[in-house]
Amino acid sequence: MPIPHLSETNAPLYSGGSRIAASVATLAALSAIAAYSAARTQGNVVLVDADQSEWVWSETSTLTSDSLFVLRPDDSPTAGRWLRKSGPIDLALAVDYTKADAAVLATIPTGARFMVQGGLWEVSTGFTGGSSSAIGLSSSQSGHTTKGDVLGGSGGDVTALLGTAGIKEATIGADVAAGMVLRAGETIRFDRITSVYTAGAGYAHLIGFLYNPGA
């Protein structure tokens, strides 16, 4: 019997009884998959080509959408969510010079946990201005609340590193080096560690392992 091919509605493929991930170009395309599509089958995995993230369809999840760990489809079902697949993850958090100190960039979903193992900065517009400005990331979780605990270190990352566009090797927070597992309900926060930049934009990437069952 021939193996079925991916349809225009991103129906899952099967080979030897195992489901093979379909793919879509962007997160917006994932959100646009309609209710009647076979892609929205319990447990089906879809790859987003733009950032290589993988998402699992959960028919019963009612978690709040954040487009980072949880995605509610455009047709807004009461139950039914795309959940970021458990496993290795590169979490890209949008940052820019206008972000307030302690602004929440992400919240770990109900039932999930995120082991942070490292990070980097993806700078699209160089961070410049201010007086010896520096930025980083911390969290709301007890023991990891000091500025730079998650990314940037106690002194934060500065213009010498962030002043030009490109991928930058971030200073890893001491708590990450010692081992950090962020629990459900805890937040990841942006830190203005010294002064305030007057320009700059990009992404803070956190690399690690996500457990996200959608409980």
| pLDDT string in tens for the chain (215-residue length) | 333 334 444 445 554 555 555 899 999 999 999 998 888 989 999 999 999 999 999 999 999 999 999 999 999 999 999 999 999 999 999 999 999 999 999 999 999 999 999 999 999 999 999 999 999 999 999 999 999 999 999 999 999 999 999 999 999 998 998 889 999 999 999 999 999 999 999 999 999 999 999 75
Amino acid at 19: R
Amino acid at 193: I
Rg (CA), the chain: 19
Residue 53 has a pLDDT of 95
What is the pTM for the complete model shown?
Answer: 0.88
- Asked if residues 135 and 95 have their Cβ atoms less than 8 Å apart, the reply is yes
What 8-state DSSP symbol labels residue 51?
Answer: T
Q: Which helix H or strand E contains 211, and what residues bound it?
A: strand 199-211
Residue 15 has a pLDDT of 46
Residue 18 has a pLDDT of 56
Q: In the block, which residue shows the tokens 């090797």? A: 169
Structure tokens at 9: 């509605």
- Asked if residues 93 and 187 have their Cβ atoms less than 8 Å apart, the reply is no
Residue 6 has a pLDDT of 40
- Asked if residues 44 and 54 have their Cβ atoms less than 8 Å apart, the reply is no
Strand arrangement of the beta sheet that strand 134-139 belongs to: 104-107, 187-194, 134-139, 157-158
Bridge partner residues of 96 (DSSP)? 201
Residue 22 has a pLDDT of 82
Q: In the block, which residue shows the tokens 């602004």? A: 103
**Cα 52 to Cα 26: distance, rounded to the nearest angstrom:** 9
Q: How many residues does the chain have?
A: 215
Domains of the chain: 13-85 (no CATH), 88-211 (2.60.120)
Structure tokens at 198: 């007057």
Structure tokens at 38: 């076979």
Comparing C-alpha atoms, which of 133, 91, 84, 130 is closest to residue 109?
84
Residue 38 has a pLDDT of 83
Residue 13 has a pLDDT of 54
